[in-house]
Amino acid sequence: MGKKAQDILQLVGDPSQVDRSLQTFRKAASVLSSDHPRLIDKYPKQWVAVHNGEVKAASTTFNGLLRQVDEAGIPRSETIIRFIDRNQRTMILSSRC
């Protein structure tokens, strides 16, 4: 294996672990996009944590949600967190100060 390939592997880590992480993220993202109407009914105005394709925690506060995630031993790095609201908000970011 060449030096460049070794450098890349050192940065991203084990390819099989990267693949597992991407699959976990894909499942979680799928739940948020395809089940969004159901999530609105079940978790209105709540923060939800999705891991491995399932809602694992929900709370009305962000800190409360993080506490539940940590107590359940769910890795934050493999969890998608989203606030569920019927009224989607659009954020516009500007680089001008």
31-66 pLDDT tens trace: 666 655 688 889 999 999 988 888 999 999 999 999
* pLDDT in the model for residue 16: 81
The pLDDT of residue 77 is: 84
pLDDT for 97? 43
Going by pLDDT thresholds of 50, 70 and 90, the confidence category of residue 91 is very low
| Main-chain phi, psi angles of 78, to 5 degrees | -115, 20
Read off the pLDDT band of 89 (50, 70, 90): low
Question: Between 15-34 and 3-12, two packed helices, what is the crossing angle to 10 degrees?
Answer: 50
Question: Which percentage of the chain shows pLDDT scores above 70?
Answer: 78
Q: What is the DSSP letter of 74?
A: -
